[in-house]
Chain A
Amino acid sequence: MSRHVELEGLIAWWLGELDPADADAVDEHLIDCAACSARGQRVAALAGGIGEHAARGQFAGVLPAGLVDRLVARGVRVRTFEVRAGEHVPCAASADDDLMNARLIGDFRGTGRLDVAVLGPDGGEQERYADVLVDRAAGVLDLAAPADQVRALPPMPTTICSTPAWSATSAAPAASTSPCSIPAAPRRSATPTSWSTAPAARST
């Protein structure tokens, strides 16, 4: 192989997705090309860094279905609290946890785009996750936060809300408005829905 290897090709090579003949051709090019080798080393370094980051449970946000189970299988210590719509569940992260996961269980079918917001004790929006990944068939949504960040918080009630994306005609709701009370249109049967995960008895 004499042509330089593009990033896409380097990724496929690194991940072992190329057939053996193509992988050999990339090997031959990389051993002979300082520039592509340097880019390959960059891919390797990024891959390693992503792994180290993930292994420490440094996830914040909505995780795709199945990822939590995969993380547990790789040794990440995940504390999962199942919360059904309308429930109040005390939750906390202990010193042994890497990741805290609020598994929201509800009926997300037919929601289209789904946004999730986290509200503080005063009802103010603390975080918003737009167009999140949700397993609609299973009715499960995993919202995670690094356990070390959770441990640093004082005990407090937290509410998690979801809402469909509001349409252009109802753009009035500002980000500062609780999405649970957004007069968003069109509202669908299952949303907005709120979960509460409070008050947290913080343990260490």
Chain B
Amino acid sequence: MGDCRDVPDGALARRIAAAGAAGAAAEEAEVYRRFAPRVRLHAQRRLRDRDESADHAHEVLVITLIALRAGTVREPDQLASFVLGTSRSLLIDRARTAARRRELLARFPTELADRVEPAPALDRDRLAHCLEQLDDRARSVLVLSFWLECSAEEAARDLGTTAGNVRVLRHRALARLSDCIGQEGA
């Protein structure tokens, strides 16, 4: 299987369309590898659930690959827009039945999903250590913002400060936490 990492979106899309039902394995794998984490992020912001988001990303990419094979992606150079549109539609239409989903997902092998880099997972001990390095305000603003999902205004009331200051505090605190954990941690 060739390495398609440097192939632009549009070229990948055209090659898959040209191969049709026979499939262009390397190109399809690259489309999947490239877009699945981005779709997962798109979904995770709304669903707040990593597993559900991963399932959603798989579904979006399966639909995309089917459309590419069928040559129905009208603007191959705008593949990202097609993927995003599909993701948005599916997020809006989450009332579909589980059976329908299973049937659709079974049409593509799950090995494709195995090639996608897993969602970043943090070393729990390292995270705990780095959170301890923050001062009480910074730690509190992170918990209020990212776990309790308080608005900046709500967090500001708890912290006795302004919403603007909360935005600055949380931005700095998250950057410090990220730096402390290091790139390997995510």
Contacts and interface: CB of A to CB of B under 8 A. Distances in A.
Contact of A34 (B34, B87, B158, B178): B34
B148 A70 contact: yes
Contacts, number: 136
Contacts of A13: 45
B139 A47 contact: no
Contacts of B40: 41
B152 interface: yes
Contacts of B41: 30, 37, 40-41, 44
Contact of B158 (A30, A52, A67, A74): A67
Interface string A41-69: 11111111111111100111111111100
B158 A65 contact: yes
Interface in B7-66: 34-35, 37-42, 44-45, 50
Give the top 10 A-B pairs by smallest Cβ distance, nearest first: A45-B120, A51-B147, A32-B80, A47-B146, A49-B122, A31-B84, A37-B38, A64-B158, A66-B158, A61-B136
Given A53-B131, A67-B144, A31 B83 contact: yes
Interface of B: 34-35, 37-42, 44-45, 50, 80-81, 83-84, 87-88, 119-122, 124, 127-128, 131-132, 136-137, 139-140, 142-152, 157-160, 167, 170-171, 174-175, 177-178, 181, 186
Given A66-B158, A67-B158, A53 B128 contact: yes
A27 B143 contact: no
Given A31-B83, A55-B147, A132-B136, A48 B186 contact: no
B177 A46 contact: yes
A201 interface: no
B147 A50 contact: yes
B81 A53 contact: no
Given A28-B81, A31-B35, A45 B177 contact: no
Contacts of B167: 8, 11-12
Secondary structure type dominating chain A contacts: helix
A137 B161 CA distance: 14
B87 to A, nearest CB: 8
Nearest to B151: A17
Given A31-B83, A42-B120, 13 more contacts: A8-B167, A14-B45, A15-B146, A30-B38, A30-B41, A37-B38, A46-B174, A50-B146, A55-B147, A58-B131, A70-B148, A74-B147, A132-B136
Contacts of A42: 120, 178, 186
Given A7-B174, A16-B45, A44-B119, A67 B140 contact: yes
Contact of A133 (B38, B83, B148, B160): B160
Contacts of A50: 127, 131, 142-143, 146-147, 177
B171 to A, nearest CB: 5
A63 B140 contact: yes
A13 B152 CA distance: 13
Nearest to B80: A32
A15 B136 contact: no
18 contacts: A11-B174, A12-B167, A14-B45, A28-B80, A31-B39, A41-B119, A42-B120, A45-B119, A45-B121, A45-B186, A49-B122, A49-B124, A49-B127, A50-B142, A50-B177, A51-B147, A64-B140, A70-B148
Contacts of B143: 50, 54, 59, 67
A133 B137 contact: yes
Contacts of A132: 136
Given A45-B121, A46-B122, A133-B140, A64 B84 contact: no
